[in-house]
Amino acid sequence: MNYVHRIHEDRLYEAFAGPMVTAILGPRRIGKSTLIDHYMGQLTDVPMARFNMDSMIERDQVKAGKLEAMILQTLQRHFEPGRCVWVTVDEAQKCPEIFDQIKILYDRYKDQNAVKFIVTGSALLELHRLSAESLAGRIELYYLNAFGLSEAVRLKHPVEIKNSIFDLIEVVDTLDEKHWRNYCYDLLPFSEILNKMLMSLLVWGGLPEVLMAPHASAGLNYLANYLQIYLEKDVRAIESITDLPLYQQLMEICAEQTGSVRDDTKITDALRCHRETLNKYRGYLSATLMYCDIHPYINSTLKRLVKSPKGYLANNGLVSFLQGIFDEALLIKSGMIGHRLENWFLNELQIWLYKNPGHHSIHYWRTASGTEVDFVVKKSPCVYPFEVTFGQNIDPKKVRSLIRFLEYEPKARWGFYIYRGDFKYDHKNKIIFIPAWMVC
């Protein structure tokens, strides 16, 4: 598989060139190590040491306090001022003891340009803890998502899409209809392959090996193995997870209810467990980057809102596997395709927001009367509402929901309607209708 340049690549490369410890968080098998390998392949004369805490042998050595000895043995040289060595540690959260040892080496050599650490992890559990404890002030955290639409297309096609639709959305007040139509016109030659890949992402998710699978059965086998490795390596290692079948049943429920407002009473009744157990297990689903809660949008001018979050199992491929639906036509007929589109769009939103530093958050909006907007992004100083639907025709009810939100929230200057129809620009109501294939 050829290397595919990632949307966050430039920002990560800048971090690699800096002196602080760089941590990259993201689910398993989304390309963290591949990105690092690609960068290191361009460094011709830099000594490098690679470790993986999935390896029991390496993990036991670190637990014995031997990280420095492991580095020196691998490099066959000592640390020297001005001659930087690179050390990468994959799945660092599997070995909490490594963080204090990284701290000692970092502090010892930070002013000598002698060592650069890059750590990756598929869980927030330890990598967030360390930023507040042993490596506070020494580490920068970054996120890498599953492949978005533009990245997925480049897996199979030599297509270069220079700008993102979100680049236009961020400066929407400075653009007129002509700019938007020009962007649409520039993408039109790629509309067929973008549409085809979009449908693939709705069914199979954004893991690169799944997208590149030669046939459906190969993709299915990969997802089965992926889930098994996650349960056996990541979840079983968590001491407080005492009921693995219950945990998997929770995953199945999260898959079935992806995109729906949570009803914890129904979930606890179905699982026959206590609320504390549900919260704990779902917390680990979130901490291992497999699940995401989207909380309601609330500010002082918006009243009578429901307070339950909407839950999303993070990968459409796993949703398909756990639901047993891999046929596009059957998925559409089932009525669940709209939630798959939301799940894909949530990943695109996260890619956009992680691209640049700054405070941001993703919410949904629903009033007690049932008026709803699927996603509301707070990206200071602006607010961006998005309605997402699989339909090809514009739904007047959904348009009214966007209009109502714009009336309530003055920081939201425009609304965005993502669907499978044609591009439209409604200057009167301040709504831009965007074909889903253009979200790249």
DSSP characters over 259-277: TEE--HHHHHHHHT--HHH
Can you tell me the distance from the alpha carbon of 409 to that of 301, in angstroms, rounded to the nearest whole number?
Answer: 8
Average pLDDT over residues 414-434: 98
pLDDT tens digits, one per residue of 316-359:
999 999 999 988 899 999 999 999 999 999 999 999 999 887 88
Can you tell me the distance from the alpha carbon of 176 to that of 66, in angstroms, rounded to the nearest whole number?
Answer: 61
Cβ atoms 304, 366 nearer than 8 A: no
Higher pLDDT, 52 or 93: 52
Residue 306 has pLDDT above 80, yes or no: no
pLDDT tens digits, one per residue of 55-111:
999 999 999 999 999 999 999 988 999 899 999 999 998 898 999 999 999 999 989
Residues 6 or more apart whose CB falls under 8 angstroms from that of 13 comprise 39
DSSP SS3 for 211: helix
Can you tell me the distance from the alpha carbon of 438 to that of 419, in angstroms, rounded to the nearest whole number?
Answer: 10
When pLDDT is cut at 50, 70 and 90, the band that residue 240 belongs to is confident
Angle between helix axes 32-40 and 9-17 (nearest 10 degrees) is 60
Residue 14 has pLDDT above 50, yes or no: yes
When pLDDT is cut at 50, 70 and 90, the band that residue 128 belongs to is low
The H or E element that residue 4 is part of is: none
SS (H, E, C) 214-280: CCHHHHHHHHHHHHHHHHHHHHCCCCCCCCHHHHHHHHHHHHHCCCEECCHHHHHHHHCCCHHHHHH
Q: Check residue 208 and give its pLDDT.
A: 95
Q: How many helices (H) and strands (E) does the chain have?
A: 19, 14
Residue 196 has pLDDT above 60, yes or no: yes
C-alpha distances out from residue 86 to 49, 77, 90, Å? 6, 13, 13
Residue 305 has pLDDT above 70, yes or no: no
Average pLDDT over residues 271-285: 95
Percent of the chain with pLDDT over 70: 96
Listed by start position, the domains of the chain span 9-143, 150-438
Average pLDDT over residues 264-268: 96
| 287 backbone dihedrals φ, ψ, rounded to 5° | -65, -25
Average pLDDT over residues 9-30: 93
Cβ atoms 241, 247 nearer than 8 A: yes
C-alpha distances out from residue 57 to 54, 62, 79, 134, 389, Å? 9, 9, 24, 24, 49
Average pLDDT over residues 414-424: 98
Rg (alpha carbons) of the chain, rounded to whole number: 23
Can you tell me the distance from the alpha carbon of 432 to that of 417, in angstroms, rounded to the nearest whole number?
Answer: 6
- Mean pLDDT across the chain, nearest whole number? 92
Residue 304 has pLDDT above 80, yes or no: no
Average pLDDT over residues 108-127: 86
Percent of the chain with pLDDT over 90: 80
Residue 77, classified by CB atoms within 10 Å of its CB into exposed (0-12), middle (13-18) or buried (19+), is: exposed
When pLDDT is cut at 50, 70 and 90, the band that residue 303 belongs to is very low
Higher pLDDT, 305 or 119: 119
Residue 131 has pLDDT above 80, yes or no: no
DSSP SS3 for 57: helix
Q: CB atoms < 10 A from the CB of 85, how many? A: 21
DSSP SS3 for 58: helix
Average pLDDT over residues 234-250: 92
CATH class of 9-143: alpha beta
Average pLDDT over residues 199-221: 96
Q: Check residue 125 and give its pLDDT.
A: 55
Residue 129 has pLDDT above 70, yes or no: no
CA proximity to 413, closest of 366, 377, 437: 377
The number of residues in the chain equals: 440
Q: Check residue 400 and give its pLDDT.
A: 97
Q: Check residue 300 and give its pLDDT.
A: 47
Query: Which stretches of 211-332 are assigned E, i.e. beta strand?
Result: 260-261, 291-296, 310-313
Bridge partners of residue 33, in order along the sequence: none
Angle between helix axes 67-75 and 97-109 (nearest 10 degrees) is 60
When pLDDT is cut at 50, 70 and 90, the band that residue 302 belongs to is very low
